[in-house]
Chains A and B, each alone.
Chain A
Amino acid sequence: MAEQHTASDCKQRASQGAGGSVSGNGRPNTAAGCGGGGGGLSGGLTQPAGWQSLLSFTILFLAWLAGFSSRLFAVIRFESIIHEFDPWFNYRSTHHLSTNGFYEFLNWFDERAWYPLGRIVGGTVYPGLMVTAGLIHYLLNLLNVTVHIRDVCVFLAPIFSGLTAISTFLLTRELWNQGAGLLAACFIAIVPGYISRSVAGSFDNEGIAIFALQFTYYLWVKSVKTGSVFWTIGCCLSYFYMVSAWGGYVFIINLIPLHVFVLLLMQRYSRRLYIAYSTFYIVGLVLSMQIPFVGFQPIRTSEHMAAAGVFALLQAYAFLQYLKDRLTKQEFQTLFFLGVSLAAGVVFLTVIYLTYTGETPNLPDSVCFRYAKIHIPIIASVSEHQPTTWVSFFFDLHILVCTFPAGLWFCIKNINDERVFVALYAISAVYFAGVMVRLMLTLTPVVCMLSAIAFSSVFEHYLGDDMKRENPPAEDSKEGLGPNIKSIVTMLMLMLLMMFAVHCTWVTSNAYSSPSVVLASYNHDGSRNILDDFREAYYWLRQNTDEHARVMSWWDYGYQIAGMANRTTLVDNNTWNNSHIALVGKAMSSNESAAYEIMKSLDVDYVLIIFGGVIGYSGDDINKFLWMVRIAEGEHPKDIRESDYFTPQGEFRVDKAGSPTLLNCLMYKMSYYRFGEMQVTLDFRTPPGFDRTRNAEIGNKDIRLKHLEEAFTSEHWLVRIYRVKKQENRQALDHKDLLSVLI
């Protein structure tokens, strides 16, 4: 009966939020430990297995529910809305897919982005996400459940988090036992490292890719264990889904060969391994090449070469094994020697040939990355591409980060084929997470699994009751630790897990649940102000401008303009063309007449900027401005020089002491136009034109625009839109000026 209480207890707490399921999930082991005593109920529940599966189902379901509901903070606080930047593009293409059909989507040439170049969308995206959302939408509509495609997109990631939890359960069960699996499922359902990429509204590749990753690994472990082609084909299909969903599939195609290689080194070669890897490599390769964006990369680029090399090695190894059985020892040795020297010669010649022709294979991206970062400003300007401090590890994983090494320890001490895999997974993932903060995402699942193993083995020993053991003879040699110590350990461990649950909820609520399209500010009394300037401005664009109007903005806002305002943009978050971005950066950082020339050549009708000086929003364009200058300087070093935008002391200031180039550039003028006459705060001690983001009174209050006119400024001045005056219009008014511009 105790188990029943646990289950209902668990349900109660889970319904309160993310918390409860973890504190209750040490208990499946109780079921394993004293399941024999759980009789008395009718039907299947008299069997221990019946109890176990009922509990497992309940816990997995609750984990799903807890994971789903803790991802809903943003929806409850704001509304069902797509977040941030990239999801807007995904949403727009999903919308295109669901309205025009699959083939139309694959052939989609988007003329509304990267004006005048356009973008071939079908061939430059991982379509898995869009196809998944589109399919769900299609099925629901087929069943006459009418939902908008937006709602499918918003709730896709939370739903997939449940699937991730289940596949993590399956994988951990293969590695350790059922109890650890359930714990791992509960961990992954609420751990912030994964929630950060999968809250409701964050409609991004990672949301479904982590599920595909874990499921592929589960099927791989299963196929190594069984050596059956059935599981391997399943693994390939799952791998195919992963390739279609996220560029991170490269991690799989390197980790699995590494696993095979290490198993060979450890002399754990078996028929099962041979069947699994040979099938996986060939079928997986063929399937992965079906994705248009991947194409022939798997047989061309260096990231995929390890897989091919291990495939060849495995064949050679298997062949040698075969020969070993057929030949005498003497013959085999001669043959082996011959073969090895031949192989060495071939490798040597290939290396010489490659060096001679200058086609040395590239280093993997992660290695080159550090060097690229120094030289290409656009990579350095993205904050995700940074190494990770210990604070981020702790923030995203809390207690798991300090306990998962113990799980790793247990795995290595009790090694077998699949635990080799999880050890390699842990070491490689922790390395990549250390190099780049966004790869924390690939580390999170393995941390959950190993930490679950550590906690589960502790609970297994401390939660069970010694007295009730059925067969004491096996135990009599060692006396129990005593109920007191056991309960203290259990209590404290449960307390730590409870703190983990509380931490997860707090982090999710405070750090990862802001849509960044709608902002919220809190008053002193705790009431909330919603700043909806972005959508206001985008809606204005949608309603008041020509359908084919071209809007220039910094690349961060490209996807949002395309998605929300449905207008043509010049650059967007798919930063594939650095020189085009540099041109926009140059226009923003030149003076008005030089910028007008650029804008004229790019047919710009409107310019959109983000300005946070009124409300103190720090992510605005003036704060990003130096990146624009840097990127522009990279392509146009003659016209733009970063040092011109600093004061002689090397400071970046917007007040009177600021450099004159800055005070007269287009971005500055557009940001602060009419701002000089505005009393920003109610406090009259501050002068008019006081920038609250940079805490300075602006240096150029008398801004006159010649070629632009203000078209729209949102309520809190967060978004400002300017119309570029047409030439015909100006010819009549201002003849001289035009001449001077033309000459």
Chain B
Amino acid sequence: MAVCCRLLMLLTLLTLLCVQPGAAQKKKENMLVEKVEQMMDWSSRRSVIRMNGDKFRRFVKAPPRNYSVIVMFTALQPQRQCSVCRQANEEYQVLANSWRYSSAFSNKLFFTVVDYDEGADVFQQLNMNSAPTFMHFPAKGKPKRADTFDLQRIGFASEQLAKWIADRTDVQIRVFRPPNYSGTIALALLVSLVGGLLYLRRNNLEFIYNKTGWAMAALCVVFAMTSGQMWNHIRGPPYAHKNPQNGQVSYIHGSSQAQFVAESHIILLLNAAITMGMVLLNEAATSKGDVGKRRIICLVGLGLVVFFFSFLLSIFRSKYHGYPYSFLIK
């Protein structure tokens, strides 16, 4: 009996032992199915899945996978001040939506995002020190060098991303940009608002004939352009530069080829002050009023022109090395 018992036990043990791998396999499959389902569930809700450290390790890093994952590592929190991240994110959303709503949508490919503020550990783990970065985690094996998208060189247009994804995963995504109605809507709103205002004030349309208002608007455009706001808009420079060593903040860029946002604002004010000085000089001579007052206006105008122009000249001189001339201020 005892022998029998033992045999039985052994048998059970054996069977248990034999069953174990099979069960593990099954469990793995279950896990995979579960993971895919989970991922599908998420991506049906949002085309780009947000991940934190745990989720990233479980769904992207951990081995049982039969799907490719594209991960954007980014820092979208406003306090990070990463304007590139936001632009890249928009392009990424366009791409992910194109995939999500395309007829070829399947569980072969998922788009995810890891924000630095939610998964800083992931950044450390991958030794990553710049954002945004796009990486592809293939279904099998580890990511290779080409699985990191070369952002510096190709840029982050969704067409380029799609090309890269097609190259890495054989999934072709036709980028469909939703026509951007926001501009049109904003314009229509503005027009209707202005129209409405005009209609409400139809009995008193004097303000349209107000030359000062129009002159102000024209000068605003001129000042914005001559101080290089268009350059800022296209190039997106930082507001000012803070020296990491001694914490000094410099508002003026050292080279004549570039500028900071703060610097362009300073220039805008200087230009406006000089213009105002010229207008005041003219005003002082033409207006009818107390002579003493006019003299003061005249001197203020002159001071504005001369002082701010020499200030402007000195800023220019500090940027344009080798420029020999200055006036009042070195």
Contact = CB atoms under 8 A, between A and B. Distances in A.
A705 interface: no
B231 A388 contact: yes
B105 interface: no
A403 B278 contact: yes
A518 interface: no
Contacts of B214: 412
A461 B285 contact: yes
A395 B259 contact: no
B211 A390 contact: no
B249 to A, nearest CB: 20
Contact of A427 (B222, B228, B291): B222
B171 interface: no
Interface in A401-438: 401-406, 408-410, 412-413, 415, 423, 426-427, 430-431, 433-435
A391 B320 contact: yes
B77 interface: no
A434 B286 contact: no
A527 interface: no
A458 B267 contact: no
Interface in B160-199: none
B30 to A, nearest CB: 42
A473 to B, nearest CB: 15
Interface stretch (A244-252, A294-302, A488-496): A488-496
B320 A389 contact: no
Contact of B325 (A477, A479, A499, A642): A499
Contacts of B294: 481
A559 interface: no
A17 B286 CA distance: 36
Interface string B289-321: 101001100110010011011001100100110
Interface stretch (B57-65, B78-86, B113-121, B150-158): B150-158
B218 A412 contact: yes
A486 to B, nearest CB: 9
B307 to A, nearest CB: 11
A256 interface: no
Contact of A401 (B226, B272, B281): B226
Interface string A658-696: 000000000000000000000000000000000000000
Nearest to B163: A637
A496 B281 contact: no
Nearest to A424: B218
B164 to A, nearest CB: 12
A412 B215 contact: yes
Contact of A413 (B212, B223, B271): B212
A413 B325 contact: no
B302 A477 contact: no
A389 B281 contact: no
B219 interface: yes
B222 A458 contact: no
Could you say which of A390, A423, A488 has the most chain B C-beta atoms within 10 Å of its C-beta?
Answer: A390
Interface in A372-396: 374-375, 387-391, 393-395
B325 A434 contact: no
Contacts of A495: 327
B68 interface: no
Nearest to A435: B230
A458 B281 contact: yes
A654 B269 CA distance: 46
Interface in B193-239: 211-212, 214-215, 218-219, 221-231, 233-235
B264 interface: yes
Contact of A402 (B155, B274, B325): B274
A423 B325 CA distance: 32
A720 interface: no
Contacts of B289: 478
Given A399-B309, A427-B218, A489-B302, A390 B267 contact: yes
B258 interface: yes
A567 B43 CA distance: 63
Contact of A642 (B153, B225, B233, B263): B153
A457 interface: yes
A387 B230 CA distance: 7
B107 interface: no
Given A399-B309, A402-B275, A403-B275, A394 B316 contact: yes
B6 interface: no
B221 A427 contact: yes
A389 B228 contact: yes
A390 B153 CA distance: 28
B284 interface: yes
Nearest to A454: B278
A462 interface: yes
B279 A506 contact: no
B257 interface: yes
A393 to B, nearest CB: 5
Given A409-B275, A461-B286, A478-B288, A387 B219 contact: no
B298 A387 contact: no
A404 B279 CA distance: 11
B309 A388 contact: no
A393 B275 CA distance: 16
B325 A503 contact: yes
A430 B225 contact: yes
Contact of A412 (B211, B278, B299, B312): B211
B141 to A, nearest CB: 21
A643 B264 contact: no
B282 to A, nearest CB: 5
B256 interface: yes
B219 A408 contact: yes
B324 interface: yes
A404 B294 CA distance: 23
B75 interface: no
A389 B274 CA distance: 19
A34 interface: no
A430 B275 contact: no
A149 interface: no
Contacts of A488: 302
A431 B234 contact: no
Nearest to A415: B211
Contacts of A404: 222
Nearest to A414: B211
Interface in A124-166: none
A485 interface: yes
Nearest to A371: B157
Contacts of A399: 309
Nearest to B237: A389
B221 A395 contact: no
Given A401-B271, A430-B226, A374 B231 contact: no
A370 interface: yes
Nearest to B228: A390
A461 B214 CA distance: 25
B270 to A, nearest CB: 7
A489 B294 CA distance: 14
A711 B272 CA distance: 60
A502 interface: yes
Contacts of B323: 506
Contact of B319 (A391, A433, A454, A496): A391
A207 B230 CA distance: 27
Contacts of B225: 430-431, 433-434
A389 B259 contact: yes
Contacts of B258: 389
Nearest to B234: A387
Given A481-B284, A485-B299, 18 more contacts: A388-B230, A389-B259, A390-B226, A390-B227, A391-B228, A391-B256, A395-B316, A402-B309, A403-B274, A405-B272, A412-B215, A412-B218, A427-B222, A430-B225, A478-B288, A481-B294, A499-B327, A643-B150
27 contacts: A370-B234, A388-B228, A389-B257, A389-B258, A390-B227, A390-B267, A391-B316, A402-B275, A403-B278, A405-B222, A405-B275, A408-B215, A409-B279, A427-B221, A427-B222, A430-B226, A431-B225, A434-B224, A435-B234, A454-B282, A458-B285, A461-B286, A482-B295, A485-B298, A489-B281, A499-B325, A499-B327
